[in-house]
Amino acid sequence: MEAVPARARVYIACVAAAALICLLPQPGARTPWWAVALLAALYAGCERVARSRFVGISHPAGTFYPVLLAGAFLLPAPAAALVAVPGALLSHVERRPVVLRRIWRAAQLALGVWAAARVHQVLGGRDAVVAGDCPWALGPAGAAVLAFCLVLALLDGGRLAVGLGAPTTPLRQWGKVPVRRAWRGLVARSLAPIAVHGLAGLMMAVLWRSPYGPVAALLVLLPMCVSWWAFAQYHRERAAHQATIRALVQAVDIKDGYTRGHSERVGQASMMIARELGMDDERVEVLRFAGILHDVGKLGVPTRLLRKDGPLTPEERRVIELHPEYGHEMVRGIGFLGEARAA
């Protein structure tokens, strides 16, 4: 916790306090606690399976929103928000600080689901779900999904503005993002995937209220699980590429101990400068990889030249100056690097 910026701790505390307020029971509302417990257990189980060895999702987009949004369509707002809390607090977290990341995720999801449930209730979506009127239910459900997406984007933008890293970002890479670009593109990137999850959540809610009951609602999750597994394979392949990059950089550090850690520092500096220039996240990542790999071609330079004491001869200098070409050839087969190869 000591390494987390003070402003980030204050921000998380404020979001958590707001989430606790949203969890307070709604006066006069009848809460089916068995449904809350069932949905909460289902969401927690889906989160656990998603991060198991079989699926292996570590990306934040792996959150199983259909269950949460189904809760927003079926339950009063405080009860729907409660569905997200146990699964988020018990979810597997790979990066430190673990407790802080879990609290943040639980609070963020609780606020998002609460907002979606309130919008859905105000627009009369609950009655349409109970009646099984799917065409009429689409309007309120769409508005609820939009509210859910906006709340998540608003909180994520605030997270970036105060220097709180993403759930999968190492603590050492946390850094404050300029306010002018903290919220840029967040809604556009997340709205389409969340809309698909919202449609699945609506189907779950309608089937839940049908004569077939909750068992039929669970069948909606099967195609979502297949797409989820495919999504996980993409990120697993990406993680393998990044592991390859780390191995190459470590090999360079071992070969040329004098500049140990230089590549990582160049990558970090490139990322910080790119953020200050207002570049989007994809471009920032490309520049980070470019910085990390800029010296990888040293693996093709004789070790005796890298470790030579004294000045280099003109011929030796020409050999060392070929290392960018060696590096370009070495990373040519790593497709996701894109323009980073030109570094």
pLDDT tens for 64-77 read 788 999 999 999 99
Residue 60 has pLDDT above 70, yes or no: no
pLDDT tens digits, one per residue of 147-160: 999 999 999 888 88
> What's the pLDDT at 51?
59
pTM for the full predicted model: 0.67
> What's the pLDDT at 117?
95
> What's the pLDDT at 142?
93
3-state secondary structure the chain: CCCCCHHHHHHHHHHHHHHHHHCCCCCCCCCCHHHHHHHHHHHHHHHHHHCCCCCCCCCHHHCCHHHHHHHHHHCCHHHHHHHHHHHHHHCCCCCCCHHHHHHHHHHHHHHHHHHHHHHHHHCCHHHHHHHCCHHHHHHHHHHHHHHHHHHHHHHHHHHHHCCCCCCCCCHHHCCCCCHHHHCCCHHHHHHHHHHHHHHHHHHHHHHHHCCCCHHHHHCCHHHHHHHHHHHHHHHHHHHHHHHHHHHHHHHHHHHCHHHCCHHHHHHHHHHHHHHHCCCCHHHHHHHHHHHHHCCHHHHHCCHHHHCCCCCCCHHHHHHHCCHHHHHHHHCCCCHHHHHHHHC
Task: Note whether 245 and 263 are within 8 A (CB).
Answer: no
Q: Look at the domain 237-342 and name its fold.
A: Hypothetical protein af1432 (1.10.3210)
Residue 137 has pLDDT above 60, yes or no: yes
Range with lowest mean pLDDT among 56-60, 157-161, 170-174, 323-327: 56-60
Residue 191 has pLDDT above 80, yes or no: yes
Q: What percent of the chain has pLDDT over 90?
A: 23
Task: Give ranges for CATH 1.10.3210.10 in the chain.
Answer: 237-342
> What's the pLDDT at 253?
82
Residue 80 has pLDDT above 80, yes or no: yes
Q: What percent of the chain has pLDDT over 70?
A: 83
What confidence tier does 184 reach under pLDDT thresholds 50, 70, 90? confident
More confident residue, 2 or 151: 151
